[in-house]
Amino acid sequence: MNERRGHVEVARDAVARGERTAESITRAALDAIARQEPSLAAFTAVSAEQALTQAAAVDAARARGAALGPLAGVPVAVKDNICTKGVPTTAGSKILAGFVPPYNATVIERLAAAGAVIVGKTNCDEFAMGSSTENSAFGPTANPWSLAHAPGGSSGGSAATVAARAVPASLGSDTGGSIRQPAAFCGIVGLKPTYGRVSRYGLLAYASSLDQIGPFTTTAEDAAIVLDVIAGRDPHDATSADQPAPVVDAATTRDMQGLRIGVPRAFIEGVDAAVERAFAAALDAWRALGATIVDIALPNVSLAIPVYYLIATAEASSNLARYDGVRYGYRATLSPQDTLRTMYERSRDEGFGAEVKRRIMLGTYVLSAGYYDAYYLKAQQVRAALRDSYAAALATVDLIATPTTPTPAFRLGEKVADPLQMYLADIFTVSANLVGLPAISLPCGMSPDRLPIGCQLTARMWDEATLVRAGAAYQAASDWHLMTPALAGA
């Protein structure tokens, strides 16, 4: 029988029915990770012992007849910019080498309360700044479909390990596309929730007005299951909202009757030919399921990349000021005559990588007196105009569709020397962060050289349900999410 359910559902149901123990599922995940790490390098830390203890607790709860949580016995990997008590958290940076958080992020507490088994921390671009995971101080992660290609970024490790079927789900963070772009490059589902849907408490901040945590899974329904666990108001994060989130119910509709999908044609012109074909076929599939497809305009959307790189770097320059060699992680080796200032300078110089420094400088520049109005303020004005563009469009359609990325995965090394080219990989993803809207990437095709292609849907504020409905309907009618890289079985 062809298993169409997602891996989260399969694992959870097997544990709930007593067909498998949480321990055996966890051991299988740990074995797969160990087998794949030499090729993928998706993890910065594997917490096998903690995972087996969590799994044993789930099995004991079941034996007692206790109620099981919605993720009981499901192994989950977590991006290494999310704080895990007792497990090193580096955000891919040398400056946090040796940092072991004394507390859990709220999402970790919620995963644990739902019975999830956290197997380890995944590699990412340093402080989530990048689109390829090559900016990690611990070396790059490979794409499971082709080890010579980038898995995307910045949550590359989280995407690669789910794509390689080692774990059913993982968490990433998305500031400008860091969940959706690697999901597209690796052929899986990635969901960026509405800004405020998920608590950011314990997420190492990159750009606080844009950051959101969200799931990677193989199906839209699985993404909803994980989202429902991690979502909701948290007193530790003032921007978290109290929005009821039974998103998963939307997955059962399996049709698109009455839904309108808008396509900003002018904006997506010029994408790679295979991406264009796959995107057109996905639109046909939704039309066949009952959706109406219409052309829309999105004024100012072509300015999203510069606006994003002004606002994100400005916020980053402020957020990263706390890494001064005093309180966390790395401190430069000093001689007795060195001053405090030298300690700050050398610790930051030696601790941060090149891309992080580039962004701190850019962000400091755009916030500085004399330039603030010309750059930062201007960017905020365009951001407001962009919000209006999306609001106007979403008054006439329920969803906006674009490819997730203009091309399939690029080669490792291909863009490292050219930051601007790297930034352009985010052209279709940064807007959702700037305007706060939820968006999902779904696998919708393969390039001629067998690299996955993703399609992105954006919905109204708090309307993750429609993303999941459209995703589940599409996945009931397509097989792209069932394809696995050869490495998964190896």
The answer to whether residue 146 is catalytic is: no
Burial of 84 (0-12, 13-18, 19+ CB in 10 A): buried
* 154: contact with ligand GLN by CB under 6 A: yes
* 313: contact with ligand GLN by CB under 6 A: no
In whole angstroms, what is the distance from residue 485 CA to residue 284 CA?
Answer: 26
**Active-site choice (47, 132, 136, 154):** 154
The answer to whether residue 240 is catalytic is: no
* 134: contact with ligand GLN by CB under 6 A: no
- Torsion angles phi and psi, residue 45, rounded to 5: -155, 135
Q: Which of 156, 176, 264, 454 binds ligand GLN (CB under 6 A)?
A: 176
* 311: contact with ligand GLN by CB under 6 A: no
The answer to whether residue 131 is catalytic is: no
Q: Which of residues 431-470 bind ligand GLN (CB under 6 A)?
A: none
- Which residue's CB is nearer to ligand GLN, number 286 or number 410? 410
Instruction: Candidates 99-107, 122-130, 162-170, 266-274: pick the segment binding ligand GLN (CB under 6 A).
Output: 122-130
Beta bridge partners of 400: 262, 458
The residue assigned the tokens 């563009």 is 389
* 128: contact with ligand GLN by CB under 6 A: yes
Beta carbon of residue 1, minimum distance to ligand GLN (angstroms, whole number): 38
In whole angstroms, what is the distance from residue 335 CA to residue 252 CA?
Answer: 65
Can you read off the two tokens belonging to residue 475?
């996945």
- Which residue's CB is nearer to ligand GLN, number 32 or number 204? 204
Burial of 488 (0-12, 13-18, 19+ CB in 10 A): middle
With beta carbons less than 8 A apart as the criterion, state whether 121 and 45 touch: yes
**Active-site choice (155, 170, 173, 178):** 178
Q: Which residues contact 356 (CB under 8 A, 6 or more apart)?
A: 93, 126, 127, 129, 135, 316, 320
* 178: contact with ligand GLN by CB under 6 A: yes
Instruction: Candidates 45-53, 57-65, 127-135, 235-243: pick the segment binding ligand GLN (CB under 6 A).
Output: 127-135
| Inter-CA distances, 462 with 194, 198, 243, Å | 6, 11, 7
Beta carbon of residue 430, minimum distance to ligand GLN (angstroms, whole number): 7
| Inter-CA distances, 406 with 271, 361, 403, Å | 5, 28, 7
Beta carbon of residue 43, minimum distance to ligand GLN (angstroms, whole number): 19
Beta carbon of residue 153, minimum distance to ligand GLN (angstroms, whole number): 6
Q: Where are the alpha helices (DSSP H) in 98-137?
A: 106-113
Beta carbon of residue 433, minimum distance to ligand GLN (angstroms, whole number): 7
* 177: contact with ligand GLN by CB under 6 A: yes
The residue assigned the tokens 């995107």 is 279
* 203: contact with ligand GLN by CB under 6 A: no
Q: Which of 26, 143, 146, 175 binds ligand GLN (CB under 6 A)?
A: 175
For ligand GLN, the binding residues (CB under 6 A) are 128-131, 154, 174-178, 206, 312, 426
